[in-house]
Amino acid sequence: MDFSTPKTKTQIRAFLGLAGYHAHYVKNFSLIAAPLTQSLKGKIKKEGVNWTRDCNRAFTELKNRLTEIPVLHGPDYNKEFIVQTDASDLAIGVGLSAK
C-alpha cells in the first residue's frame, strides 16, 4: 500500500512487474491494469507519463486487491509452505505460497 505513485514509465513498469507476479490471484487483472499499460506506449522509456484519473483509479484498485484477504496474507505455520525466490544483481524477491 505504501508504493508511491509512479511518475515515469520505468516506475510504472516496476509496479506492474510487482503486481503482475500475483496477477493470477486478481480477477480481471489485465482489465484493471489497462490504463497503466496504455500509459507505457511510446518510444521514450524514461519520459514522464500523463497520469490520468483512470491511471490513478487502476493503481489504487490494484494495490487494494493485492492487499485484501484472501489474496495475500501471512503464512499459517501449522501448515507446510513453499518458498519461491528470484534474485538479480540488485535485489532478491521472496514469495510464500501454501501447498
What residues make up the domain containing 57? 9-72
Q: Per the domain annotation, does 85 fall within a domain?
A: no
Over residues 69-92, the pLDDT tens digits come to 765 566 678 888 888 888 888 888
Q: Per the domain annotation, does 2 fall within a domain?
A: no
Q: Per the domain annotation, does 38 fall within a domain?
A: yes
How many residues would you count in the chain? 99
Please state whether the predicted TM-score (pTM) of the whole model is above 0.85: no
Over residues 15-51, the pLDDT tens digits come to 999 999 888 888 899 999 999 999 998 766 666 788 9
Q: Per the domain annotation, does 36 fall within a domain?
A: yes
- Tally of domains within the chain: 1
Q: Which residues contact 75 (CB under 8 A, 6 or more apart)?
A: 81, 96, 98
- Compute how many other C-beta atoms are within 10 angstroms of the C-beta atom of residue 36: 23
Q: Per the domain annotation, does 32 fall within a domain?
A: yes
Q: Per the domain annotation, does 98 fall within a domain?
A: no
26 CB-contact burial (10 Å; exposed 0-12 / middle 13-18 / buried 19+) = buried
